[in-house]
Amino acid sequence: MTGLQIVYVRCEYRDNPIGLDTRKPRFSWLLSSDSRHALQSAYRIQAADRADFSETTLLIWDTQKLESDRSVLIAYEGEPLKARSRYYYRVKVWDQEGHESDWSEIAFWEMGLLGLDDWTADWITPDASVIDPYADAVFLMRKDFTVREAVRNARLYVTSLGLYELELNGLRVGNAEYTPGWTSYKYRLQVQTYDVAGLLCEGNGNAIGASLANGWYKGYLGWKQQRNLYGDTRALLLQLYIDYEDGTTEVIRTDGSWKSNTGPIRLSELYHGETYDARMEQFDWSCHGLDDTKWAAVSLVSHTKDKLIMQESELVRITQRIKPVSVWKTPAGETVLDMGQNMVGRLHFRVEAPAGTQITLQHVEVLDQAGNIYSGNLRTAKQTVQYTCKGGGEESYEPHFSFQGFRYVKLEGWPGEPSLDAFAGHVIHTDMEPTGTFECSHPLLNQLQSNIVWGQRGNFLDVPTDCPQRDERLGWTGDAQVFIRTAAFNFGVAPFFTKWLRDLKADQREDGSVPFVIPHVLGETDYGSAAWGDAAVVCPWTVYLCYGDKQVLEEQYDSMKAWVDYVRSEGEDPYLWNNGFHFGDWLGLDAKEGSYIGATPKDLIATCFFAYSTSLLVKAAKVLGYSEDAERYGHVYEQIVGAFANEFITPSGRLAAHTQTAYVLPLIFGLVDAPVKERLARTLVDYVEEQDGHLTTGFVGTPYLSHALTDHGYHDLAVRLVQQEDYPSWLYAIHQGATTIWEHWDGIKPDGSFWSDRMNSYNHYAYGSIGDWLYRAVAGLDMDETEPAYKRILFRPRPDSGLDYAKASYQSVYGKIRSEWYKTGGGLATYEFEVPPNTTATALLRGLKLEAVRVNGELVSEAAGVIEAGEQEEMLQLRLGSGSYRISQLHTSDAEWD
């Protein structure tokens, strides 16, 4: 292979997406090369409405050869795109030597419905005179139709008020769960697209059926037994386009000709579970020829269609199936399954029992001191499934419109002794692409990484929820912003957060304040807390930083700016935020007795985040070319920093607060310079040492504490802090059996008792933000933020982390990045790095000398791919081109590595 070659291409982060409504889809590609330091110097993209790209094919877009190193998210600039049309594209590139690649494989994207004029269907719901619209039962709606001849293509576009599942000719349509997903329904409602050509029966009768449940739209939300927050009527909207080989098109749509009924799902709620009576099943209800004369008519619903948008993020799916590890009798005589992992999803089971046998499953996260199930922390959420058998042989079941957060399941009514083989846990979350890995020589830290990943999977179910088990499961903004950098390492979350941020912008008030949860379902005063509302700025900036997605900054810029302006208008001083409600350092261990809010002054936290968000707004303005805003808000930032110093820093350089979090925030947000910085860092160390190397921080301070110590020369203390195994620490929870991240440091106390039932989730990802420190500070996989998306990689491995080895890998938008180090004896460490094509990396290796290392067995000066090499501040600095590198030491002067 000569020069660069294209491995694969993507459109809007996806392979061959269908149902787009963006008029300027964006293209990205991955490159490979057998040469080191391979860079792209130019590219060419062609797009057409047919796939052959022959000489006679009319192109709708051809960039020609463009001199550019860009290979990520390049926007289409061709002819206007049409609804429901498929387009094809291919890419070729040139390297820095002028070598031209082959064309990539031909890929496609397909447009969805692009506006109100494309919708001719009616919203429908069962006839209220026959079927109670407020009943708990899931509605069924169906229609027969005929496919008259050979089908070339068939697309189904569907959404609902409530949650839907579709069947076509008795088969499930697609594999998505909890569609149409949760958005700010007052402003935005997603539409899903399905390719159903393979499900149609040519020349025969066909039927389509839809199940419709309450879901987020009208089911229970929050802890106050609220219902019908968006509306009180479930409804379906659907258009099926059948394109025939003869060039004609037929449209099957929701209208007054459909029929309705109820079926075996007698109740289905996200929090409470599902009640299912298999005796009421009618297997052919979505098949042609059903006698539906006793089914009710449907009514047309007057509801807008101008809020419809095509699906934006990845769909929610079953991503894994796990088997229970044991079943036993508790001291209370309960039969309990242990899944071996606190998971989110549903339990699937197979059973054979007489008709009318009722089986009840209760889902919980932990066991109590005596070894019985503990459900107190669920509050009003029942998490209970009731299944009534139909008899006559083996039957299988899992819930449809409810999900549970659980490790343990109590079985009641099970016939005989349950077999583990009869059960499977179906893990469900937004189907994000796994991107990051971390491993080290410390087994408990590896379990911590597993807990972080499982916590993210369990809580990234269409929105970034705080917890998946109790009567809450809301998109808390503070939790999302403290975790987003860790989240973006573990999984590809750009589409996920882009969707959620659009809801944040939609729900943001005219004065710029941001609700505590997105989508907003709380009260009219639940807006505007520091560190929570700052998600409006922190999250879009982090998406841009990790993925190079400039569009998210463009879309959210007004929202970011409005938040900063809101904060500026709130305080008595325009450069201090010293009033209003704030969550403070939520759940900090230095809180007063009976309080959830830590001891750090709330105005100090608020002003620190005011400064931080303003600094990010300035960066965003510069990226977008808004020079006037950059200058204006740059001045605002300087004034905030000055006001912070006047308000909180004494003339002698002391901080007028005495908590770990109080010292962490100004250090990590850069609000102080030397020598005040050094003094604050030393005092922070003192405060940690006073706790015998433990933390006292809550949601606000914890994400930054270890970084603050490492960045200011106290990495050894950060290591000690993270590797503590007694309370309070991350590893303490693991000793207590945690397989996800807890909400409270002492969710289970050493004696086995619990923190308060009121708020005690065992799957709550906020403290999983420590993952960011593991990946960046221990394994050393980081980026130079002057170029987003790891275009310029920064390797800063720390073999002085009390470990024998550590390694991390990350599938960036440019390709796989890997940073690994391991001890080889005698105080020596070996490093391995992998740099993808079209990027460069800088490796900063502590305590090494040029003459004392070999790169891939060669002298540094002779090693292929090493662009520059030097020493500075007792650090070996290597600038590396793409390729794999093994850097070994001949000797070291750093005896502390022993």
Active-site amino acid positions: 472, 743
Residue 408: its H or E element: strand 404-412
Q: CA-to-CA distance for 589 and 587, rounded, in angstroms?
A: 6
Burial, 189: exposed, middle or buried (Cβ in 10 Å; 0-12, 13-18, 19+)?
Answer: buried
- Encoded tokens for 411: 């079985």
CA pair distance 21, 179, nearest whole angstrom: 18
CA distance 523 to 875: 54
- Distance, in Å, from the CA atom of 579 to the CA atom of 750, rounded to the nearest integer, reads 39
Angstrom distance (rounded) from CA 659 to CA 601: 9
Q: Measuring CA to CA, which residue among 161, 236, 234, 214 is closest to residue 402?
A: 214
Provide the phi-psi class of 228: left if phi over 0, else alpha when psi is between -120 and 50, else beta: left
Distance of CA 737 to the CA centre of its chain: 25
- Nearest of 541, 538, 563 to residue 552 by alpha carbon: 541
Question: Any bridge partners for residue 425, and if so which?
Answer: 322, 347
Cα distance between residue 640 and residue 469, in whole Å:
40
In the numeric block, which tokens belong to residue 745?
């440091």
Q: Which residues of 645-682 are buried (b: 16+ CB within 10 A; e: fewer)?
A: bebbbeeeeebebebbbbbbbbbbbebbeeebbebbbe
Burial class (CB in 10 A: 0-12, 13-18, 19+), 620: buried
Q: Is residue 494 classed as helix, strand or coil in its secondary structure?
A: helix
d(CA 87, CA 107): 9
Cα separation of 489 and 765, whole Å? 14
Site of tokens 């960045």: 711
How far apart CA 76 and CA 16 sit, in angstroms, is 15
Residue 497 has, within 13 A of its CA and on its CB side, a CA count of 29
Tokens 């998505």, residue?
A: 176
CB-based burial, 404-419: b 16+ in 10 Å, e otherwise: bbbbbbbbebbeeebe
Scanning 268-419, the segments in alpha helix (DSSP H) are: none
The 3-state DSSP class for residue 557 equals: helix
Distance between CA atoms of residues 703 and 765, nearest Å: 11
d(CA 345, CA 342): 10
What is the rounded (10 degree) CA torsion for 870, 874, 880, 885? 120
Q: Decide: helix, strand or coil at residue 516.
A: coil
Distance between CA atoms of residues 107 and 28, nearest Å: 12
